Structure 1
Amino acid sequence: MGRKKTTKYNYVMATPCKNEEESLQKFAESVINQTVTPELWVIVDDSSTDRSPEILSDLEAKHSWIRIITNQGTKRDLGFHYARVVSQGLSSALEISSVENIPFEYIGLIDADMILENDFFEKIINRFEKEPRLGIASGTAAYYDKEKLVSETGRENLPIGGLRVWRKKCFIETDGFPISYSPDSVSNVQAILRGWETKRFDDIVGIQTRRTSSAEGLWKGYKTKGESDYYRDYHPIFIIFKFMKYSLTSPSYIGLAYLKGYINGIVRIRKKLDIPEVRKYYRNKHLEVGRYYAGKFKFKI
């Protein structure tokens, strides 16, 4: 696949990788076969114990624009550890680009359990080019439930985590990737508070090899969500709303897992996000959601 010639599509990207041997080769092929490939792709091997390091080494040997960094970290953690690994990858991509004079206008973060359609980056960068105030955008994640392809649901102004792209200027203005629970969400809020637009596009798809929050099992994934919502200081009304929503979702036990995580935050974590303006945004989130649905169904709140 030929390299792009115009600066319009110049981007770098980072990927955290931990024991992804089953899907890593297909994921890598989906990046290598993009209609516009990255100028630089930094993959952080987070102390994998399967064949991932071997696969990554082979990729680096074959493609000069792929760089592998090995992180001698601890076990997989959906909280701060994940954020630190991603931050390491993104920071390394920026540092290498600066040292080697690699030009780019966009920054991608794609998790290693994704398989991209071959024009993913071309399509999403085209959206940025049409919308000058678009700071962060993502595609929509989908996964196979038996033979059926199921798309993850979400609001159109909330880009998801491991399938996202930043405009370079927005990334710098928002101080890079935050070290936090739900760092993707915190990044979205920081962009919004600085006047940037954020969007998730339903027609730009990444296929997940597993359901969101299931890497360590759904119970642990949704318990982490509850801890995250405590840490970011969501209002108790919003917590109740989300508990009810998850309890009505299959499997229903994820509601209990979520509530347990929130209570764990109160009892054990105690500390909260140290960015006052972002905490204030989350604290009033239930009002924003209420206004959203009020407008959707045309009633006053």
Structure 2
Amino acid sequence: MSFIIVTPIHNEERNIGTLADQLAASTRKPDLWVVVDDGSTDRGADIVRNMELPMETIVLERSNQGGLIGGSAFTAWQYGVDYALERQSDFTHVMKLDADVELPPRYLENALADFGVDSSVGLVGGILVGKRDREQTVHVPGPVKLYSATAYKAMARVPRVVGFDVMDEIAIKAAGMRVSVRKDLHFTVRRAIGASQGLVHGRRRNGLVCRWTGYWTPYFALHALRYVARKPYLVGSVAMVYGYLTATPGPYPQDLTSAHAAEQRSKLRKAAKRPRSWMRDTYGVKP
């Protein structure tokens, strides 16, 4: 097994050293950790360079290309993956791991074990815990995407722009592979999801992503309504709807966006038939 982690950073001085320490303490360390400094103006890259770590670590630098709306985090990740594959083309697993993740020591060991149990698994991840960040537990959260080599290759036609961490799962399923969400693998993040450039900006970006990735309109309406009760409360939902309504045509293949909408319609049918069990299975909530 050859396991690569790529972490894109942009002004992550407060977080990257902590993540490095956690990877060093992990019971399964990556064979190669690539940190891509995406146009930072702080000392994040130097912090990693000056650390003595028990795994091969490389720090790359590139200019920030378009910020989060432009998908810079995903193109930076791809930049690091491309570099890693030039060195280690026979990789078996590759991961996108964000700098603000709080990673338990056994997380990587346990996540990688899933691939050995079921050869059809293409993507594995745990669940984000904490009421502030509660998301659906039927998808792998964006900060901890762990792919098999086969799944990575199946994503070749998925553009590395905002929404990639939604459409990756659709492409993997379309290729006949399975997404494994390990509800026993918990992790947290040190800031609210989507808040790196401010919550209102993050909510607007969320609305744009929903439009680009083919959200079924009734499903999006419920999605936006759910955010009324989250900071910045009503303003965030308004920003989300604004982003959705003003989004330009998306970059994703139509068959994938159609499959995404169909998946959402199926979810709502299940919710209508068995609302209590759906809430429990989807959000880990006991109604």
TM-score, normalisation: structure 1:
0.84
Shift of residue 202 of structure 1? 2.7
Q: Does 1:95 align with 2:73?
A: no
- Structure 1: distance between partners of 2:261 and 2:238: 22
Aligned length: 276
The answer to whether the 8 Å contact 2:31/2:55 transfers is no
Secondary structure in 1 matching 2:244:
helix
Which of 56, 59, 63 is equivalent to 1:72? 63
Q: 1:256 to 1:32 in 2, by over 3 A?
A: same
Counterpart of 1:297?
A: 275
Q: 1:62 to 1:129 in 2, by over 3 A?
A: closer
Q: Does 1:280 align with 2:262?
A: no
The answer to whether the 8 Å contact 1:44/1:85 transfers is yes
Q: Which residue type is aligned with residue 109 of structure 1?
A: K
Which of 79, 85, 96 is equivalent to 2:76? 85
Cα distance per residue 1:52-95 (max 9 Å; x no partner)? 12112213x75661011101224632442222112112222222
Q: Does 1:44 align with 2:36?
A: yes
* Cα root mean square deviation, aligned: 2.3
Cα distance per residue 1:8-59 (max 9 Å; x no partner)? xx31110001111112111101011111111111110011111112112213
- Structure 2: distance between partners of 1:48 and 1:125: 31
- Structure 2: distance between partners of 1:159 and 1:28: 22
Shift of residue 231 of structure 1? 1.6
Cα distance per residue 1:248-286 (max 9 Å; x no partner)? 334422211111111221xxx2x2234121121133344
Q: Which runs of 5+ in 2 are unaligned?
A: 278-287
Q: Which runs of 5+ in 1 are unaligned?
A: 1-6, 143-148
Q: Does 1:258 align with 2:249?
A: no
- Structure 2: distance between partners of 1:63 and 1:114: 19
Q: 1:125 to 1:296 in 2, by over 3 A?
A: farther
Q: Which residue type is aligned with residue 258 of structure 2?
A: K
Cα distance per residue 1:177-228 (max 9 Å; x no partner)? 6323211111110001111111322321232110101111111111001011
Alignment of 1:210-289 (within 5 A): 210-252=191-233, 253-265=235-247, 269=248, 271-289=249-267
- Structure 1: distance between partners of 2:178 and 2:3: 19
Which of 120, 126, 144 is equivalent to 1:139? 126
- Structure 2: distance between partners of 1:286 and 1:205: 25
Counterpart of 1:207?
A: 188
The answer to whether the 8 Å contact 1:140/1:205 transfers is yes
- Structure 2: distance between partners of 1:80 and 1:193: 23
